[in-house]
Structure 1
Amino acid sequence: MAITRSNSGLDVVLDAGRTFFHQKRTEIQHALARRKAYRATHHELSTLTDRDLQDLGIPRSNIKRLAMEAAYDC
């Protein structure tokens, strides 16, 4: 015996809506995770002394760029 399921137009629209919102929720979660990585990296580098940064070979003016690279793979 075969079982068939008939999708009404409403079912199709609801499934598409669920898929859309799940995708957006996932995108937002990834964006928040990247932002958190950026803020953490920027904060950690900003709290280092000039001497520590010099030992690492990082000018203070490059902190923002390095944080962007760490979080967003720029």
Structure 2
Amino acid sequence: MKSIRVGLERRRVFKQTVRELQALSNRELADLGIHRSMITRVANEAAYGK
């Protein structure tokens, strides 16, 4: 049960991170040092540590 909960929480963090980064303008992303094509990778790192 715990592993399912952990998996669901990680997925929630991934989806929330993607949503928040996609809502930013290209300028705001650039200020953070992130290119729009990097959003999925950054979200993966935030959720799964990869």
Q: How does 1:34-53 map to 2 (within 5 A)?
A: 34-53=10-29
Percent identity over the alignment is 46
Q: Structure 1 unaligned runs (5+)?
A: 1-24
With the length of structure 2 as denominator, give the TM-score of the two structures: 0.94
Higher relative contact order (CA closer than 8 Å, sequence separation 6+): 2
Residue 69 of structure 1 pairs with residue 45 of structure 2: yes
Regions of 4+ moved over 4 Å: none
With the length of structure 1 as denominator, give the TM-score of the two structures: 0.65
Choose 1 or 2 for highest CA Rg.
1
Question: Which whole-Å CA distance do the structure 2 matches of 1:34 and 1:57 have between them?
Answer: 23
CA RMSD of the aligned region, Å?
0.6
